[in-house]
Structures are given as C-alpha cells and as structure tokens.
Amino acid sequence: MKKIIIATVAIALGAAAAFGQTATKYYVAHQGGYVGEATVTIKGTKVASASYAEWQGPGGWAENNAPDGKSIVDGAVVRVPDPFANAGSADPAIKGYMFYIYNVQNGLGVWSQYTPGKDGFVRPSRQYERDFEGLMGNPIRAAAYAKAAREDTLVNVTIEGLKVTVGKPASQTVHYGHMNKADPSANYMSLNSSSIGYRYNYQATIAFFMAHPTADYTAATMKKAKVTLKEDKSVDALAKVSDYTAAEDNVYVVADAVSGATFSDFQHYSMELQAAYKMALAERAVKFKK
C-alpha cells in the first residue's frame, strides 16, 4: 500500500512539473505610487515564463482638475473596486468601491480614503490615515486593483453630497500612455541618449531573472559596462534604440553575472519575481484551497 501511495504522489508531482505551476505576487512600489503583480510559471524548478505589470496609482491617471486643466489639485476623486469597501451600502455606485481623494495639507498631497457619511463623503481626520499606499498593502485589495486596471474599470468621479457621478475611465486620462509601465505603448521613463528606458530595462530584468531565479538579489552591485540594444517594437513601440548613445552605463551585476538592467528598481522587481517563484514552488508541493 505504501508503494502505491508513493507512486501516486510521484505521478501527481510529475504531472504538476510537466504542466507547470503559476503564482502571482502583489506588491506596492514607490511609496504607493504603483501597484505591481509579479507572475512566474515554473516547470520543475526552471522558470518557464515570468512577467510583472506595474499599474499606475491614482496620481498616474486621475483626471487633471486644476483650473487650467494641466495638473491634479486638492479634491480630485477616483473610484476603485474593493471587495472590502462600503459593503453595507444600498447604492450600487458606492457598494464594493473605495473612493480616494487627493488630500492636500501644508502643500503635500496624499491619496486618502474618501468615505460616505450620513449627508456626504468625508476625508480622514489625519491625512495619511487609510491612504492608498497603506490599503494596497493588502494583497486582496491589490489584486482587485490590478484586475480593474487591466479591465479598465478604474474611473474618475465627481461627488455632490452622496451622489456619485462616474466620469472618464483611467485609460482615457492616464498620464503615461498606458496604465502598465511595462506595456510597449507606455511612455513612462522613455529611452533617451543616456538611458535605455523602462521597457528595455524590463526586458533585461525578466531575461536575467529567468536565467537566475535563485540568485541573491540583495547582494547585487553595479559596474560600468557597455549596453547594446536590439530594437524591438514589441518591447518599446515608441523608442528608437539609435537614440541611446551612451558609451557605457551603470549596470547591475549579481554574483559576477551582468544583468543588462540599469534602473534603480532592478533589485526590487527581481525579488518580487523571486517571491512569486517561491510561491509557485510551494503551490506545486502543497495543494492550497482557492
């Protein structure tokens, strides 16, 4: 009987290895400016595919509400799907949604929770209380936000009393070409004469991680090296690699392996990918309920 059980387990593990196991790790980046999702699929212990999306937070897509229409000022409000928010409301425009207001105090703006009260919406008594960054630290909320960003259900709203009027979706007001910074059509951190830009950094980071999923990314260092790019519009549709003319660049190195990545987020993104890799290994070994 023991031999049969062992054989059955071995077959099950072999099947999981053959078909692959996928896991996603959600995270918050840049003091709450972005919500990320790192996804890794493994076959055996090897990485079959890896990616991360980093979605713009409200500051990257809220509609400009300044009188001249060129900036975001105090009072801008956005609505975000949230499985924990306003569950007791009878209003379908409020139930299941979190509202964030650009809350400026002493010249500093924070995206604070905006809560429906008896006669209208109210700001928190303290500016940083239950702000966007803090709430997105919950992976359930972060997953809901990433899903909404992908499906374009994040919206700008105006509020009078308790009446919510839905305005333009995030895709129409995003300030960087696309909600996902790594999307080929995004213009966030564009390639220029001295920088390979965000999208080619993304390509380098993914390629290096797939080859080195178990590396110690906390020990990464930097060295001067020549970076050579091959133009690929599926990576960055807007960039011309010939515009990058730096003779050499500061490139991340991990255990003497040169990554090709130059942006300061290399270690952070690599470690989020590595966390997803570890999750995939665990999920292959243990059946978690979903």
Residues with pLDDT less than 70, the chain = 1-18
What is the chain's alpha carbon radius of gyration, rounded to the nearest angstrom? 22
Domain boundaries, the chain: 2-49+188-285, 62-173
63-110 tens-digit pLDDT: 999 999 999 999 999 999 999 999 999 999 999 999 999 999 999 999
Tally Cβ neighbours within 10 Å of residue 38.
Answer: 25
DSSP annotation of 280 reads H
**Strands (E) located in the chain:** 21-29, 34-43, 46-56, 77-81, 97-105, 108-116, 121-122, 155-160, 163-169, 221-225, 249-254, 257-258
141-162 tens-digit pLDDT: 999 999 999 999 999 999 999 9
DSSP 3-state of 63? coil
Q: Are 103 and 111 in contact (CB under 8 A)?
A: yes
According to the model, what pLDDT value does residue 75 have?
98
The C-alpha atoms of residue 162 and residue 86 are separated, in whole angstroms, by 13
According to the model, what pLDDT value does residue 80 have?
99
According to the model, what pLDDT value does residue 161 have?
98
According to the model, what pLDDT value does residue 227 have?
98
Give the helix ranges, DSSP H, for the chain: 2-19, 132-135, 139-151, 170-173, 197-211, 266-285
Give the helix ranges, DSSP H, for 161-260: 170-173, 197-211
According to the model, what pLDDT value does residue 18 have?
59
CA distance to 20, 97, 123, 134, 165, per residue, from 138 (Å) = 27, 15, 21, 8, 27
